[in-house]
Amino acid sequence: RGSTKAMIDWPNVTESSNEELGLKPEELRRSKCVLGFFPVIYYSVLLCVGVPVNILTAVALCRLAARTKKALYYYLLAVTGSDILSQLFIIFVGFLLETAVFHRDVPTLLLHVVSAAEFAANHASIWSTVPLTVDRYVALCHPLLHRQISYPARARKIIAAVLVLSLASGVPFFWWSDVWRDSHPPTSLDAVLIWTHVTIIYFLPCSIFLVLNSLIIHTLRIRQRQQPCQEERGPPRRLGKTTAMLMALTSMFSVLWAPRTVVVIYHLYVSSVHQDWRVHLAYDLSNMLAMLNTAVNFFLYCFVSRPFRGAVRDIMLLRGGPLHPGRALPQQQAPTNASISSLYSGNNKRSQRDSTPLSPRRNRKPS
């Protein structure tokens, strides 16, 4: 086999094979990556920015979870941890090491093992958002039930089940074809794997997001109509931020992963990545958009959540927050009647603390 060229500037087939097959120059140009070194620069920047901010997000969420003991933070922590795994396996190992550095000139077995690990991390990153969506739906639409079934121990069991299933779902993709370099048309096995992939990472989770988010919006609209009769219970304005975060999180995923889903199906039925440089370009760009989804949640949390911003500020200033509720000062503990929409109820908790009367012991004057 001829010497392996850089995957960025050269065709996906070797020069010797080109001469044997008698391919024309215009046919060779169709399989080039026209983006040049831009993918390497893009993924390097994404990795250098995404991993640190996700680690910072994980530390902040760990503090908030230990401080409040709310299941919501554990689900957000699972999403962040899965994003870190996706960045390490897909971006660092898959795109940068295997492709840009070694030009995929590594043992075939290692390529397939890494491929299975990439898909497992990808599935975990996406499906960790599903329990979060279900938890928010129950919290907003069935608050009494939410108080009974949503607690940290159950959240940890659900997260563990999601991670185990994600790991198992990555095993079949050990046989995933290298769409950039395989010159043969997609086989029946490729078709099964591609449809399994797009169903797991896009169609099924997006359907769940669409149904649950629609029910949440419908419930909130009904409450808004009934609000004049329920003013004594307090306006549910805090739920707006929770809903906004959930909608933004799921909408970003749907938008950023849609191009890759379309391109993969197009590759299967119309023209392959190896044969058409335009499909190759679309596949590269769609992968970049999809991986961007692993690095944007930190900025969303900072924009929406005051408690999260406070936790990040404490970490950046090296302030030690109370990691165990039992060790926290009384004025730092959340009241027992705090809102179940916890991530965005920092101001509500503060107002409740200010308005809570002192205990009988504090009110008792010395005789």
**168-205 pLDDT, tens per residue?**
999 999 999 877 676 778 889 999 999 999 999 999 99
Alpha-carbon distance of 263 to 226, in angstroms, equals 45
Alpha-helical (H) ranges within the chain are 15-21, 25-29, 38-68, 71-86, 108-127, 129-141, 143-149, 152-169, 188-198, 204-226, 238-269, 277-292, 297-304, 306-316, 346-355, 360-363
pLDDT > 90? residue 334 = no
pLDDT, position 84? 96
Q: Return the closest-CA partner of residue 305 out of 91, 76, 38, 85.
A: 76
Full-model pTM: 0.75
The residue that leads in pLDDT, 75 or 228, is 75
Residue ranges per structural domain of the chain: 35-225+241-317
pLDDT > 50? residue 331 = no
Alpha-carbon distance of 31 to 273, in angstroms, equals 7
pLDDT, position 319? 81
pLDDT > 80? residue 28 = no
Alpha-carbon distance of 301 to 87, in angstroms, equals 19
Six-digit token string for 100 = 């840009």
| Fold observed for domain 35-225+241-317 | Rhopdopsin 7-helix transmembrane proteins (1.20.1070)
pLDDT, position 244? 80
Q: What is the DSSP letter of 185?
A: P
Alpha-carbon distance of 314 to 309, in angstroms, equals 9
Q: What is the mean pLDDT of the chain?
A: 79
The residue that leads in pLDDT, 37 or 17, is 37
Torsion of CA 166, 172, 177, 179, to 10 degrees: -30
**226-250 pLDDT, tens per residue?**
766 555 555 444 456 767 888 889 9
Six-digit token string for 88 = 């390490």
